[in-house]
Chains A and B, each alone.
Chain A
Amino acid sequence: MLLSQIILFPLLAAIILLIFNSKSDLLKQAALGLSLAELLLGAKLFMAFDPSTASLQLTENYSWISQFGISYSIGVDGLSFWLVLLTVFIFPIAILGSWNSINKSQKGYYASLFVLQTAMIGTFLSIDAILFYLFWELSLVPMYFIIGIWGGARRIYATVKFFIYTMAGSILMLLAMIYLILMHKELMGSYSANLLDWYKMQIPFVGGVLLTPQTLMFFAFSIAFAIKTPAFPVHTWLPDAHVEAPTAGSVLLAAVMLKMGTYGFVRWVIPLFPQAAQYWAWLFMVIGVIGIIYGALMALVQTDIKKLVAYSSVSHMGYVLMGLFALNQMGVTGALYQMLNHGISTGALFFLVGMIYERTHTRQIAHYGGLAPFMPWYTIAFLIITLSSIAVPMTNGFIGEFLILMGSYKSNPVWAYFAVIGVVLGAAYMLWMVKKVFYGPTGKELSGHKDHLVDLSAREWIILSPFIVLVFWMGLRPNDFLNYSRHSLEHWVKNQSSYTLDVKK
């Protein structure tokens, strides 16, 4: 029941919030308390999880639409474990981060956040295709409102773009899912939407021919996940969504929602369509490399801090894609690690950008300059997260990037040679931004706001410290984290062409 609790508790929390008065401090406090309760459930999961097995754990299975083999079926293993914990970890912080910046219809806002949490965790834990699809689509709705109601000036444009992009991908995925349910009937004699059953199917594959079931479905799923990731060239929704979203929206979008895409590749695409994945791996490696370099080049010429961070996401997620399609232990381990890293570094970066925006009400890099003397601790925090983002050793970013590059090199050195350019460009755009914002003479636009340029408040310290601790912990002792995923990843890599997953009794 633990996993169901983790999935459904936020939904309950959303309902509980409805009884509070809007605009009361109590509402915020209740929201924070409920999210902390969810974090405790996460801690319970941490205790209950058995890292010594690759099998699916803590499974639950209830029949739902039994005619078509659709069920409410959930479970956790080393692939989804950390993503679930990342999600429960980041929500209380997101709520703290919204404390002063969200002032209209607060009740709706916090309720939306909780619905979003249910959807995200549900996506990571679903083992049934239709259930997965349900959560996947459900996540769009609260995010649509979060950006559309509490967002910036061009929020409507951004939400529509966001929605259309993701929907376009989802529809392809839904079609492929229905096809697979039918195919299961054809091959195995019964309808099933259960992923564990699907893994056992041998889906016909002919290399080099597009119109074979495996290849078609491989692309149908991949497109949906690539849009979410986002991979070049379907990434342009991301900068707009990020720029318009309120701080917590950006944080959740970057830290968790993008991972739904890459998680999709790990859980669904590659194990279900192994031959197609191997056949087309080069294509996704190339897309990954392009993402790394292209995202970094875009970041280099942005004038809006948030847009810069958004494009840096494109670059970082390019690494993830590359690591996944290296299809070896190092690459995939690095990719999984990089998903968490990106959640931490980019999540924290959006918080940091939000904090400074609340003080100055501008995101234009050119308006800044010489911030460091006014806000020294803020500057230090920003620098630490920057180091994580540009993957300096002893921070988490390095472990992920190093493993991904190494795995990619093992799989095809050529792409690693290109990808390593991103190591240089990443430092270039981040340090350029740091220089423009924090160093040099005080920016002209800032002179009017000098009274507001106070250093970190206690609340902001609470927001940032967990990130800073994790940056170094994950950078210095990666095995503490990797050990929880090791068996699952080993199993995943070793049995690539005929992947199946047991259920732990």
Chain B
Amino acid sequence: MTNEYFIAIMLLSPLVGFLINGIFGRGRWGGYTSGAIATFFALTSFASAAYLVFGLTELADGPRIISATFFDWITVDELKIPARFVVDPISAIMVLVVTGVGTLIHLFSIGYMHEDRGVTKYFSYLNFFLFNMLVLVTGDSLPIMFVGWEGVGLASYLLIGFWFNDEEKATAGMKAFITNRIGDAAFIIGMFILFFHFGTLEFEKINSLVPVGPTLSWLSPLTLGTLLLFIGATGKSAQIPLYVWLPDAMAGPTPVSALIHAATMVTAGVYMIVRLSFLFAAAPYTLMVIAIIGALTVVLAATIGLAQWDIKKVLAYSTVSQLGYMFLACGVGAFGAALFHLMTHAFFKALMFLGSGSVIHGMHHEQDMRRMGGLKKYLPITYFTFLAGWLAIIGMPPFAGFFSKDEILWQSFSSSNGHWIFWAIGVLGATLTSFYMTRLMALTFWGQERFDKKHHHPHESPYSMLIPLIALAVLSIVGGWLGIPHVISEVLPAHPANVLEHWLEGSLVHPIAATAVDGGHADHAALEWGLMGLSVGLALLSAVTAYVFYIVKPEIPKLLVQKLGQAYELVFNKYYVDEIYQRYILNPLVKASEDLWLYVDVRIIDKLTYVLTDMSIGTGKMSKAMQTGNIQTYALYIVMGVAIILTIFFGV
């Protein structure tokens, strides 16, 4: 019973905060008041989440699950959707990340946004997002998850277009929502396929009905259903071909980019697949598609990231790329690794987005890295925390990103669904990542000061912004220690356990027996060490190269740009994907609609009505003309009529 209350408090307190700020605060409260209120409700939610997760650890045996059913949402015919929410080992990680990182970002926002005119609105939206994200992660059936799924999309729409006076930003919000809707439409059909196959959409029940062996057919409901759900995930989690909205989403306030467009919402697609691991594991064809799309996205986004000048755009493409890793992990059946990277990424990417926010704040809204440089001495704390994020993302041990990325790479090489090509692409992506992130560090914090000192007086941010940075920096260092691989733990003193693996045991399904270690333990350990060393070595080399390029010999990149010419143009312009969509999908659609309207509605249907009315008016006029009032004329009609009838019937 008490658990139900705590689930309710966890879910509803952000909603309460949203309503309080949204209804009462508008135009009345300043940034500190509304920020404090919003942060308080986020913190309340975090506290309840922590309590629940603690309760979960107490449940030693049996099903580790805490659930609450509030009411029956939809009941029609065989469709029954209860409003049921659960905290189990999978969602536990998510609720902690969402509410924890969420609270930190609320706190950061107080410093970052308190002067903004719409600050109450901002905080109410942020709370609203938290509510929907929690519905998404704790919902116990696909439709309930979908409620949160679209809800976070709505929050994202509102927050991207937060400064809507700028039409470009409003457009970015719209683009995000509509692109997501394409995915959502697929998600809906995916739900139908699964529903009419399994007769239910509740996770537990589907789990008990999934066939044991893999389904090897493209047209089976399992493959089609999961594929369509995955298309939904490509929208929400910004994968090929629907990733185009995410870079534009950087139009929103930077803390929003950190929370929604890096740490939490965009990982929803990954989470959905992990949540349904039992289902996806039975659909190897879908997994293959997911792995391929994930791997391609890793490289595509990473290459684009090489050539961007806007600090947030670099981070945005980096997010797309990192999400690709998570999908790659799902695709090779390493759902645990996906969730692990989701978590560490939430830490270090939120950290770097907030760090970039601190930079932008200190630089009076400058986002172009060409006008930065040498900022480390002006923003020392931001710099040091950012350093932790940088080391984490490029995968340097013992930072968080190293462990999670390494596990993904190892699994994509060794798992039964893996392939060395996936591993190679992953390493290529890691090398590229290392390059563009080092470039970002170099252009922003190191080297010469390229900003106009008369106008820009870079300054460190207030404590409300620095505390979240420090907290996230710590998490970016230690976060990965929850999942230390066996090969490493064996050589460490005290042999730390793989906490995460242990925690998720029994909650995740692996396609065909978990990563086989049957081929001789020693060989594998050697191989694992070798591959790990190779990827770390390449990343290091890449980082050094970037350092040389942008600090030691800045003329090299310029020369390279000239040499590469068209290839650079292609990457710089993001492969013209936006332009292609505009030209070959959107414009024809609008043109076709205009033509349909002009021709079908106006020229054909309406014209036809006029013709028909004219005809009836015409017959009316004719019969009017016939009624002359002249007896002789009528007599003539009668005679003619009789004659015609006689002719017809008797053929006279």
Spell out A's residues near B (CB within 8 Å).
161, 164-165, 233-234, 236, 294, 297-298, 300-301, 328-330, 333-334, 370, 372-373, 376, 387, 392-394, 398-399, 402-403, 405-406, 409-410, 413, 416-417, 420-421, 423-424, 427-428, 431-432, 435, 438-441, 476-479, 482
* Contact, CB under 8 Å: B178 / A399: no
Q: Are A410 and B196 in contact (CB under 8 A)?
A: yes
Given contacts A409-B196, A427-B181, contact A479 B164 (CB under 8 A): no
**Identity of the chain B residue whose Cβ is nearest the Cβ of A417 in the assembled complex:** B189
Q: Provided the pairs A301-B597, A479-B74 are in contact, do residues A409 and B192 lie with their beta carbons within 8 angstroms?
A: yes
A393, A399, A403, A410: which has the most chain B beta carbons within 10 Å?
A393
Q: What are 30 A-B residue pairs whose CB atoms fall within 8 Å in the complex?
A: A161-B609, A164-B609, A233-B600, A234-B605, A294-B596, A297-B589, A297-B596, A298-B593, A329-B77, A330-B76, A330-B77, A330-B79, A370-B165, A392-B150, A392-B151, A393-B143, A393-B147, A393-B150, A394-B151, A402-B143, A403-B74, A409-B196, A420-B189, A423-B184, A424-B178, A431-B177, A431-B178, A435-B171, A439-B167, A479-B73
CB pair B188–A405 under 8 Å, yes or no, is yes
* A152 vs B5: C-alpha distance when bound (angstroms): 56
Give every chain A residue within 8 A of B594 (Cβ-Cβ).
301
Q: Which B residues touch A478, using CB under 8 A?
A: 73-74
Is B423's beta carbon under 8 Å from chain A?
Answer: no
A479 to B79, CA, bound (A): 12
Smallest beta-carbon distance A416→chain B, Å: 7
Per the bound structure, the CA–CA distance linking A479 and B166 in Å amounts to: 42
List of B residues within 8 angstroms of A402 by Cβ: 74, 143, 188
The 8 A CB mask of B494-521 against A (1 = contact, 0 = none) is: 0000000000000000000000000000
Which residue from A330, A392, A424, A439 sits with its C-beta under 8 Å from B161?
A439
CA distance in complex: A307, B305 (Å): 44
Contact A403 B593 (CB under 8 A): no
* Contact indicator per residue, chain B 66-89, by CB within 8 Å of chain A (1) or not (0): 000001111111010000000000
Contact present for A298 and B596 (CB under 8 Å): yes
Q: Which residue of B lies closest to A405 (CB)?
A: B188
Given contacts A393-B146, A427-B178, contact A482 B185 (CB under 8 A): no
Nearest-neighbour CB distance to chain B for A49, whole angstroms, equals 20
In this complex, what residue of A is CB-closest to B77?
A329
The chain A residue sitting closest to B594, CB to CB, is A301
CA–CA, A279 and B61, complex, Å: 57
Q: A-facing mask of B581-602, CB < 8 A → 1, else 0? A: 0000000011011101100110
Residues on B with beta carbons closer than 8 Å to the beta carbon of A476: 73
A477 touches B71 (CB 8 A): yes
Complexed CA–CA distance, A330 and B77 (Å)? 7
Alpha-carbon distance between A403 and B609 when the two chains are bound, in angstroms: 35
Which residue of A409, A423, A427, A441 has the most chain B CB atoms within 10 A of its CB atom?
A427
Chain B residue with the shortest CB-CB distance to A422:
B185
List residues of chain A with CB within 8 A of the CB of B75: 479, 482
Q: Is the CB of B165 within 8 A of A441?
A: yes
Interface residues of B in 153-203 (CB under 8 A from A): 154, 157, 161, 164-167, 170-171, 173-174, 177-178, 181-182, 184-186, 188-189, 192, 195-196
Whether B76 and A482, one on each chain, are in contact in the complex, defined by CB atoms closer than 8 angstroms, is yes
Interface size on B, residues (CB 8 A): 51
Which of A236, A330, A373, A393 sits near B151, CB closer than 8 Å?
Answer: A393
Given A416-B189, A435-B174, A440-B165, A403–B76 Cβ distance below 8 Å?
yes
Given A410-B196, A441-B165, A477-B71, CB of A423 within 8 Å of CB of B185 = yes
Q: Do A333 and B76 touch across chains, with their CB atoms under 8 A apart?
A: yes
Q: What 7 A-B pairs are tightest by C-beta distance, nearest first?
A: A440-B167, A439-B170, A329-B77, A439-B164, A297-B593, A393-B147, A409-B192
Is there contact, CB below 8 Å, between B188 and A420? yes
The reply to whether the CB of B26 lies closer than 8 angstroms to some CB of chain A is yes
Across the interface, name the chain A residue whose C-beta is closest to B83: A476
CA A165 to CA B609, docked complex, whole Å:
9
Q: Which residues of B contact A234 (CB under 8 A)?
A: 605
Q: With an 8 A cutoff between CB atoms, is B606 at the interface?
A: yes
| 10 extra interface residue pairs, beta carbon distance < 8 Å, beyond A439-B170, A479-B73 | A298-B597, A298-B601, A333-B77, A376-B27, A406-B79, A409-B189, A420-B189, A431-B157, A431-B174, A477-B73
Are the CB atoms of A435 and B170 closer together than 8 Å? yes
Complex: chain B residue closest to A164, CB-CB: B613
- Least CB separation from B74: chain A residue: A478
Interface-centre pick from B77, B178, B192 (highest chain A CB count, 10 A): B77
Question: What is the interface of chain B, defined by CB distance below 8 A to chain A?
Answer: 26-27, 71-77, 79, 143, 146-147, 150-151, 154, 157, 161, 164-167, 170-171, 173-174, 177-178, 181-182, 184-186, 188-189, 192, 195-196, 589-590, 592-594, 596-597, 600-601, 605-606, 609, 613
Residue of A nearest to B22 (CB): A380
Residue of B71, B143, B596, B597 ringed by the most chain A CB atoms within 10 A: B597
Q: How far is the CB of A495 from chain B (nearest CB, A)?
A: 15
**Chain A residue, CB-CB nearest to B71:** A477
Which one of A417, A439, A478 has the greatest number of beta carbons of chain B within 10 Å?
A: A439
Shortest CB distance A155–B (Å): 17
Q: Return B222 CB to nearest CB of chain A, in Å.
A: 15
* Min C-beta distance of A418 to chain B, whole Å: 11
Contact status A423-B181, CB under 8 Å? yes
Closest to B179 in A: A424
Residues of B contacting A394 in the complex (Cβ-Cβ under 8 angstroms) = 147, 151
Contact pick for A399, options B74, B77, B593, CB 8 Å = B74
Please determine whether A236 and B609 come into contact, CB atoms closer than 8 angstroms.
yes
B593 to chain A, nearest CB (A): 4
How far apart are the CA atoms of A403 and B597 in the complex, in Å? 30
The answer for the CA separation of A328 and B184 in the assembled complex, in Å, is 24
For residue B601, which residues in chain A have a CB less than 8 angstroms away from its CB? 236, 298
Assess A424 versus B147: contact at CB under 8 Å? Given A298-B601, A300-B593: no
- Residue among B592, B593, B609 having the largest count of chain A Cβ atoms under 10 Å: B593
Which residue in chain B gives the minimum CB-CB distance to A380?
Answer: B22
B170 to chain A: which residues have CB within 8 Å?
435, 439-440
Measured between alpha carbons, how far is A233 from B603 in the docked complex, in Å?
A: 13
Q: How far is the CA of A298 from the CA of B609 in the complex (A)?
A: 19
Complex Cα distance, B143 from A424, in Å, reads 18
CA–CA, A438 and B165, complex, Å: 9
B76: chain A residues at CB < 8 Å are 329-330, 333-334, 403, 482
Chain A minimum-CB-distance residue to B79: A330
Task: State whether A416 touches B184 (Cβ < 8 A).
Answer: no
**Pick from B73, B165, B171, B186: contact of A373, CB under 8 Å:** B165
In the complex, how many angstroms separate the beta carbon of A266 from the nearest chain B beta carbon?
16
Residue from A406, A410, A438, A477 whose CB has the most chain B CB atoms within 10 Å: A406
Partner of B164, one of A165, A233, A372: A372
A420 to B, closest residue via Cβ = B185
User: In the bound complex, what is the Cα–Cα distance between A142 and B601 (angstroms)?
Assistant: 27
Q: How far is the CA of A329 from the CA of B157 in the complex (A)?
A: 34
For A490, the closest partner residue in chain B by CB is: B77
Closest to B169 in A: A439
What chain B residues lie within 8 Å of A435 (beta carbons)?
161, 167, 170-171, 173-174
A480 to chain B: closest residue by CB: B71
Q: Among the interface residues B151, B164, B589, which one has the most CB atoms of the partner chain A within 10 A?
A: B164
Q: List chain A residues, Cβ under 8 A from B77.
A: 328-330, 333
Residues of chain B contacted by A370 (CB below 8 angstroms) = 165
Closest to B604 in A: A233
Complex interface: chain A residues within 8 A of B592 (CB): 297
Name the A residues within 8 Å of B597 (CB-CB): 297-298, 301
Given the complex of chains A and B, what is the CA–CA distance between A333 and B75 in angstroms?
A: 10
For the complex formed, measure the closest distance between the CB of B323 and the CB atoms of chain A, giving whole angstroms: 22
Residues in B with CB closer than 8 Å to A294 are: 596, 600
* B601 closest partner in A (C-beta): A236
B177 touches A301 (CB 8 A): no
In the assembled complex, the Cα of A161 lies from the Cα of B71 at a distance in Å of 48
